[in-house]
C-alpha cells in the first residue's frame, strides 16, 4: 500500500492522486459498465484507500446506453415483448424521461441475443425495433433517442420499417421477407398513410461513422463480425446497394454516403430514410449529458476501459472520447481492458500524456477463465496496474 508521503521518482505523481474518475464502457459478454466501474473502484481502494473515487459508467450508443443515461435523465424503465433478431420473442426495455424516450437496438436485435452458431446477418431482422417504436410513440413524448450499437443485423432498418407499416415489395408486388438478403428483391417502397412517429424528433446515436456501402460500409466492415461468410458479405453489399437505390427513388433520401449510415448494419441509413432522423455520435451526446469534460478536469487521474481495445476504440467509442478529454485536460490516464491489439497499443503509446494500458489477456491467457470471474480479475488487475503506474520512473508515458 502507498502511504500519504509517497512520491514516485520522475513520475507525473508527486503525491498519490486524491480524486480519481472511473469511467469505463462495458466489457461485453462479461461485465456491464456499472459492474466494471465497481471492480475498478475496489482495485483502486486496495492501493489508495483514502482517495475519492467517482464512478461514471459510460456507453457510446450501444449496449448499456439505457442503463448509463436514464438515471441522469431522471426517467423510468418500461418494457414489452417484441420480435427478436431471429423472429423469437425477446423482452425489451426502454426509458421515458418527460417528453424524451430512450431506446437501444441491442435490446431487440443485439448480437448477444443470437447464439454464435446461429449468427447470420442475411436472415436477422430489426422488426422488433419497429414494434418497440410503435409502443413508444403511444407515450406523450416529443423526442426519441435510439442507440445503434451492438446489433446482429445488416438489413438497413428494413425490418423496422416493415413493423412501422412500410410496404417493401418485390417486382411482383409481394412483400419481401426479413433479413438483409431479402433487400436484393426490393423493387418498391410504399409508406404508411398515417405514420405513428409523425411530429416526433428522432435521433440515432452512432458509435461509428461508416457509410452504408462500399469498402468501409455496413457489409464489408461489420457483417463478418456478425457471422457472415465472404460470399454473404458480397451478397449483403449488393442487397444494400439495391436498397439505397430504391430508397432514393421512392422516398427521396440519398443515404448511401451519409456518415453513420452504415451503423448497426445500415440502420443509421434506415432511420434517416424512414423516420427522417438525424445521426450523431453517441459518446459525444453522453459525454455532454454526463458532464464528462468537467468531471475529468476536476480529477487527478482517469481510469477507463472496455472488453477489447482495438483500432476502432479511439474512433467514436468510449475510450477514444475519454482519451480526447484527458489529453485536453492533461490528466494521467489508465486504460484497462480484456484484450488489446498490437496496433491499438502502438497508437496509444504515441499519445501526448502520461498513459498506461493493462490487459487481462496478458495475465490470464485462458479467455474463458478471465470471463468467468471477470469482476475479480479486473479488480486485481486494477490494483496492480495502478501500483505500477504510480511507481513508474521517467518512462511513465511508455506502455
Which pLDDT tens digit goes with each residue over 155-180?
999 999 999 999 999 999 999 999 99
Give the DSSP H/E element, type plus range, for residue 42: helix 33-47
Average pLDDT rounded to a whole number, residues 176-205: 96
With 0-12 / 13-18 / 19 or more C-beta atoms within 10 angstroms meaning exposed / middle / buried, residue 288 is: exposed
What is the percent of the chain where pLDDT is above 70? 95
CA distance 154 to 48: 46
Q: Which pLDDT score, from 0 to 100, does residue 313 have?
A: 82
Beta strands 301-309; 278-281: pairing state: unpaired
Tell me phi and psi for residue 34, to 5 degrees: -65, -45
Beta strands 301-309; 188-190: pairing state: unpaired
With 0-12 / 13-18 / 19 or more C-beta atoms within 10 angstroms meaning exposed / middle / buried, residue 399 is: middle
| Tens digit of each residue's pLDDT (9 = 90 or more) over 100-138 | 999 999 999 999 999 999 999 999 999 999 999 999 999
Average pLDDT rounded to a whole number, residues 214-225: 96
Q: Which pLDDT score, from 0 to 100, does residue 13 have?
A: 57
Predicted TM-score (pTM) of this structure: 0.89
How many CB atoms lie under 10 A from the CB of residue 185?
17
CA distance 202 to 102: 10
Geometric angle at alpha carbon 44, from 40 and 50, rounded to 5°: 140
Evaluate if residue 399 carries a pLDDT over 50.
Answer: no
- Sheet of 301-309: strands edge to edge? 52-55, 19-22, 301-309, 333-340, 355-359
CA distance 180 to 157: 9
Confidence of residue 6 (pLDDT cuts 50, 70, 90): very low
Lowest mean pLDDT among 12-26, 226-240, 327-341, 376-390: 12-26
Per the CB < 8 A criterion, the answer to whether 392 and 355 are in contact is no
Q: Which pLDDT score, from 0 to 100, does residue 14 have?
A: 60
Q: Which pLDDT score, from 0 to 100, does residue 12 have?
A: 57
Geometric angle at alpha carbon 230, from 229 and 232, rounded to 5°: 65
Amino acid at each position: 500500500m502507498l502511504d500519504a508521503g509517497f512520491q514516485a521518482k520522475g513520475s507525473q505523481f508527486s503525491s498519490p492522486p486524491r480524486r480519481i474518475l472511473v469511467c469505463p464502457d462495458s466489457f461485453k459478454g462479461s461485465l456491464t459498465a456499472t459492474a466494471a466501474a465497481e471492480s475498478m473502484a475496489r482495485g483502486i481502494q486496495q492501493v489508495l484507500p483514502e482517495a475519492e473515487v467517482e464512478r461514471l459508467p459510460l456507453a457510446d450508443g450501444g449496449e448499456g446506453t439505457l442503463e448509463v443515461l436514464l438515471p441522469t435523465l431522471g426517467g423510468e424503465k418500461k418494457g414489452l415483448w417484441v420480435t427478436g433478431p431471429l423472429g423469437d420473442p425477446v423482452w425489451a426495455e426502454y426509458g421515458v424521461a418527460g417528453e424524451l424516450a430512450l431506446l437501444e437496438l441491442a435490446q431487440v436485435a443485439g448480437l448477444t441475443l443470437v447464439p454464435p452458431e446461429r449468427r447470420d446477418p442475411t436472415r436477422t431482422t430489426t422488426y422488433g425495433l419497429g414494434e418497440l417504436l410503435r409502443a413508444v410513440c403511444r407515450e406523450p413524448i416529443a423526442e426519441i433517442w435510439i442507440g445503434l450499437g451492438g446489433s446482429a443485423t445488416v438489413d438497413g432498418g428494413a425490418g423496422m420499417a416493415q413493423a412501422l407499416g412500410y410496404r417493401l415489395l418485390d417486382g411482383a408486388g409481394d412483400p419481401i421477407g426479413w433479413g438483409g438478403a431479402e433487400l436484393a428483391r426490393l423493387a418498391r417502397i410504399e409508406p404508411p398513410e398515417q405514420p405513428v412517429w409523425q411530429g416526433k424528433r428522432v435521433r440515432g446515436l452512432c458509435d461509428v461513422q461508416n457509410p452504408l456501402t462500399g469498402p468501409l460500409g455496413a457489409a464489408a466492415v461489420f457483417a463478418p463480425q456478425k457471422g457472415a461468410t465472404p460470399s454473404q458479405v458480397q451478397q449483403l453489399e449488393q442487397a444494400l446497394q439495391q436498397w439505397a437505390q430504391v430508397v432514393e427513388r421512392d422516398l427521396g433520401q440519398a443515404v448511401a454516403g451519409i456518415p453513420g449510415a452504415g451503423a448497426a448494419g445500415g440502420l443509421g441509413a434506415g432511420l434517416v430514410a424512414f423516420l427522417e432522423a438525424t445521426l450523431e455520435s453517441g459518446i459525444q451526446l453522453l459525454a455532454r449529458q454526463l458532464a464528462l469534460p468537467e468531471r475529468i478536469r476536476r480529477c487527478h487521474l482517469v481510469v477507463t476501459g472496455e472488453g477489447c481495445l482495438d483500432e476502432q476504440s479511439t474512433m467514436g467509442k468510449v475510450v477514444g472520447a475519454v482519451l480526447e478529454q484527458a489529453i485536453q485536460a492533461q490528466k494521467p490516464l489508465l486504460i484497462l481492458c480484456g484484450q488489446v491489439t498490437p496496433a491499438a497499443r502502438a497508437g496509444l503509446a504515441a499519445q501526448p500524456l502520461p498513459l498506461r494500458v493493462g490487459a487481462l489477456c496478458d495475465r490470464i491467457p485462458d479467455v474463458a477463465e478471465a470471463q468467468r470471474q471477470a469482476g475479480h480479475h479486473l479488480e486485481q488487475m486494477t490494483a496492480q496496474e495502478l501500483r505500477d503506474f504510480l511507481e513508474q520512473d521517467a518512462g511513465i508515458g511508455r506502455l
